[in-house]
Amino acid sequence: MSRKSAVSDILKQKIKGLKCRECGKLYPPVALHVCEFCFGPLEVDYNYDEIRRHISRERIENGPKSLWRYADLLPVEGPPTVGLYAGFTPLIEARNLGAELGLKKLYIKNDTVNHPTLSFKDRVVAIAITRARELGFTAVACASTGNLANSVAAHAAEARLRCYVFIPGDLEAGKILGSLIYAPTVVAVEGNYDDVNRLCSEVAGEYHWAFVNINIRPYYAEGSKTLAFETAEQLGWKAPDHVVVPVASGSLLTKIWKGFNELKMLGLIDRVDMKVSGAQAEGCAPVASAFKEGRDFIRPVKPKTIAKSIAIGNPADGYYALKAVHESKGALETATDEETVEGIKLLARTEGIFAETAGGVTIAVLKKLAQKGIISKEETVVAYVTGNGLKTQEAVINAVDEVVRIDPSLDSFEKTLKLKEK
Amino acid sequence: MAVKVRIPTPLRKLTEGKGEVEGTGKTIGDLLEDLDGKFPGIRERLCDESGNLRRFVNIYVNEEDIRFRQGKETILSDGDEISIVPAIAGG
């Protein structure tokens, strides 16, 4: 613990403020997410000169075994106060899946086991709520497709903050229960995620709450960079050749790209010669459609997919995700519901990892990109699997075998299973 | 057509702090012109030099994104509720 505090204490001057990504206008580092002049998104403006003076591979390696080992590059001013164990999830060398797909060096970044709520959202929320407390908030909230709601509710319980989570009315049972158990106020809105999001933007204008993905979004979104930092460190301080990332709002993909480039800029890795490819569900593919049609603007869609966690028809960072894919010479591809279920089963069967629907989409797209030769055999590939399958059981409940029922006798066992070997 | 318009926080400096204002117009385009007359500068914030809505501005008529209708040509009816919402949220 003392080391953990030491890591983030030194760099109190690392945040200069917020800066509009479009017009460059500067703002103080408060709870604000939109430029009041051009409506562009605000981003954290770091004092990289100060960070560069302190940061090193060794300093990171001596840090806590959580995402807080990268505190120098995260937008909080003091030590973390909540979500101390988020991140640093396994990077698994997926030999079996790689063999099936004809990929020699395939890795899975396994955020199905993130602490405490089993999705990558534990990363962004640890940062967002630590920052919200620094800014003096006593209530937190979010608009969510489920995973974020679970994580905000859990961290709010830990931080003893009032909590309001807003979700679409038709979420999976596991995701609803996974929020309710922490006793927040769960508001199920009649409508899809985009309706929830629009409503929350309006609610956020009226109530003094820390909406993690609205007024706290500049800080929150930075948490996704840790998926790049960890991957680089776990590969021995190298960027992979190709990453495959699920795309909902587009923030995750954008920040993974930023994370690798930040490491390079600070000299922690030598080069970023990496393609970033995005995965969307066919029934909600506003970014992939723009890519395929060669558009540079995102046309919103009305989602219709089993991959509810990534069913965002009007993605806030769609434009930037598309830009990152183009810059890195990656691709965007889609998966049907059927391919998504097959993707979940394929990952489970080959690697023993039970991913949620977004993971199914990612694996299905990984497979397509490998088949099309967009990912080549020799590349070091990392697929980001960001949520746990136990939360979306509805998706696969009719796609698995039934149990073998027997009487409790050896005879019944042998007659029913008719096994040849002993 | 007289409609109600909900104003997002970043624009409230232009509307004397009001979160909801009245406006008129046959279409969204007309309404923006009407609002700009009442609250000078508001159109410039919402539209770029060529008059198109800025990339990070979403406008809704009765909860429906106008991009699912006719964009700035979307026809308004008396009593419609219009929301102007920054696009940067969520996910």
Under 8 Å CB pairs connecting chains A and B tally to 96
Query: Is the CB of B56 less than 8 angstroms away from the CB of A38?
Result: yes
Query: Is the CB of A34 less than 8 angstroms away from the CB of B88?
Result: yes
The span from the CA of A307 to the CA of A360, in Å, is: 8
Residues present in chain A in total = 422
Q: Which residues of B touch A (CB under 8 A)?
A: 6, 8-11, 13, 19, 45-46, 54-58, 60, 63, 65, 67-68, 83, 85-91
CA distances from residue A116 to A82, A388, A389 in whole angstroms, order as listed? 11, 12, 15
Does pLDDT of A5 surpass 50? no
How confident is the model over A22-52, as pLDDT tens digits?
999 999 999 999 999 999 999 999 999 999 9
How confident is the model over A357-374, as pLDDT tens digits?
999 999 999 999 999 999
Which residues have a Cβ under 8 Å from the Cβ of B63 and sit 6 or more positions away?
A191, A195, A198, B81, B83
pLDDT value, residue A3? 44
Residue from B54, B59, B60, B88 to probe the interface with A (highest A Cβ count within 10 Å): B88
Residue from A19, A39, A209, A308 to probe the interface with B (highest B Cβ count within 10 Å): A39
What is the mean pLDDT of the segment spanning A154-164?
98
Please name the CATH architecture into which domain A91-116+222-395 falls: 3-Layer(aba) Sandwich (3.40)
Residue from B4, B6, B56, B70 to probe the interface with A (highest A Cβ count within 10 Å): B56
User: CA of B64: which chain A residue's CA is closest?
Assistant: A195
* Shortest Cα distance, chain B CAs vs residue A150, angstroms: 14
Q: How confident is the model at residue A7 (pLDDT cuts 50, 70, 90)?
A: very low
Does pLDDT of A251 surpass 60? yes
Q: Are A185 and A167 in contact (CB under 8 A)?
A: no
Query: Please, which contacts does A154-158 make with residues 24 or more away whose CB atoms are closer than 8 Å?
Result: A154/A116, A154/A117, A154/A122, A154/A182, A155/A82, A155/A83, A155/A116, A155/A122, A155/A125, A155/A126, A155/A129, A156/A129, A156/A182, A156/A184, A157/A182, A157/A183, A157/A184, A158/A82, A158/A83
Which residues have a Cβ under 8 Å from the Cβ of A136 and sit 6 or more positions away?
none
* Shortest Cα distance, chain B CAs vs residue A20, angstroms: 12
The span from the CA of A284 to the CA of B51, in Å, is: 29
Among partner residues B45, B57, B90, which is closest to A37 by beta-carbon distance? B45
- Cis check for the bond before A79: say yes or no (omega within 30 of 0): no
- For residue B85, list chain A residues with Cβ-Cβ distance below 8 A: 198, 201-202
Residue B91 lies in a domain: no
Mean pLDDT computed over every residue of chain A: 96
The span from the CA of A381 to the CA of A274, in Å, is: 9
Tokens representing B28 are 């969204």
- For residue B45, list chain A residues with Cβ-Cβ distance below 8 A: 36-39
* DSSP element (H, E) containing A15: strand A15-20
Query: What radius of gyration do chain A's Cα atoms show?
Result: 21
pLDDT value, residue B20? 96
Percent of all residues in chain B with a pLDDT value above 90, rounded to a whole number:
93
Among partner residues A191, A195, A315, which is closest to B91 by beta-carbon distance? A315
User: CA of B90: which chain A residue's CA is closest?
Assistant: A213
Query: Is the CB of A202 less than 8 angstroms away from the CB of B57?
Result: no
* DSSP element (H, E) containing A180: helix A173-180
**Single-letter residue type at A93:** E
* Shortest Cα distance, chain B CAs vs residue A2, angstroms: 34
pLDDT value, residue A10? 52
Does pLDDT of A59 surpass 50? yes
- Report CA torsion sign: A318, A323, A326, A329: negative
How confident is the model over A83-116, as pLDDT tens digits?
999 999 999 999 999 999 999 999 999 999 999 9
How confident is the model over A197-247, as pLDDT tens digits?
999 999 999 999 999 999 999 999 999 999 999 999 999 999 999 999 999
Tokens representing A343 are 């993707």
Tokens representing A43 are 């981003």
Residue appearing with tokens 């190709």: A242
pLDDT value, residue A8? 43
Among partner residues A35, A197, A302, which is closest to B89 by beta-carbon distance? A197
Residue B10's domain comprises 2-86
Strand partners, A2: none
Does pLDDT of A2 surpass 90? no
* Shortest Cα distance, chain A CAs vs residue B24, angstroms: 22
How confident is the model over A277-327, as pLDDT tens digits?
999 999 999 999 999 999 999 999 999 999 999 999 999 999 999 999 999
Give the full edge-to-edge strand order of the sheet including B57-61: B20-24, B2-6, B81-86, B57-61, B64-65
CB neighbours of residue A158 within 10 Å:
16
Number of domains making up chain B: 1
Measured at the CA of A90, the angle between CA A87 and CA A94, to 5 degrees, comes to: 145
CA distances from residue A19 to A82, A315, B89 in whole angstroms, order as listed? 26, 21, 16
Residue A312, chain B, CB below 8 Å: the answer is yes
pLDDT value, residue B91? 87
Query: Is the CB of A41 less than 8 angstroms away from the CB of B56?
Result: yes
Tokens representing B47 are 């539209």
Q: How confident is the model at residue A6 (pLDDT cuts 50, 70, 90)?
A: very low
Residue A38, chain B, CB below 8 Å: the answer is yes
DSSP state of A170: T
0.90 surpassed by complex ipTM: yes
Query: Is the CB of B87 less than 8 angstroms away from the CB of A297?
Result: no
User: CA of B9: which chain A residue's CA is closest?
Assistant: A205
Burial B66-79, CB ≥16 within 10 A → b, else e: bbbeeebebebeee
Question: pLDDT below 50 — which residues of chain B?
Answer: none
Domain containing B43 — which CATH number? 3.10.20.30
**Single-letter residue type at A339:** E
pLDDT value, residue A422? 75
Listed residue (A6, A27, A134) closest to A72, CA to CA: A6
What is the mean pLDDT of the segment spanning A401-420?
95
How confident is the model over B62-74, as pLDDT tens digits?
999 999 999 999 9
- For residue B88, list chain A residues with Cβ-Cβ distance below 8 A: 33-34, 39-41, 217, 316-317
Tokens representing B68 are 């699912």
* Shortest Cα distance, chain A CAs vs residue B78, angstroms: 22
* DSSP element (H, E) containing A220: helix A217-222
Q: How confident is the model at residue A1 (pLDDT cuts 50, 70, 90)?
A: very low
pLDDT value, residue A238? 98
Q: Are A85 and A115 in contact (CB under 8 A)?
A: yes
The span from the CA of A158 to the CA of A150, in Å, is: 13
